[in-house]
Amino acid sequence: MSSVLGIGCDIAGVERFRKWVSSPAMIARFFNSKEILYDSSASEQRLCEHYAVRFAAKEAFSKALGTGLSGFDLRDVYIVKDKNSRPFVAVQGRAREVLEKICGKNCSVHVSLSHEKEYAMAFVVIEG
């Protein structure tokens, strides 16, 4: 029987990411290459929402884990989509090690994302 091992929620202001989208170095510092949006037709607003919701997910994951953002690289926690475009949290490297140490090797990480013009929100549940 599985149980909830942790929950985390975070909200991010989309406007905060305007300066980030014009700085490839900032994007590369916090986001895994698998979550970087390379769509040249995407509007600045779309890019800001994309990165804001993913950053909120990283924060929500760290809260669910109970570690805060320390102990692992933020690029090791990233959002990808399955074949049905459903988002899920992928975890690798040191973040995977910390997750398995705290929650066990067979835990599952669930995520819900939402964004609109001004805010992006993520909710994460770790189950084991």
Tell me whether residue 127 is annotated as binding: no
The span from the CA of 41 to the CA of 38, in Å, is 9
Tell me whether residue 59 is annotated as binding: yes
Q: Give 97: exposed, middle or buried? Use CB within 10 Å, 0-12, 13-18, 19+.
A: middle
Q: Which residues are catalytic?
A: 63, 115
Binding site for Mg(2+), residues? 10, 59
Binding site, residues? 10, 59
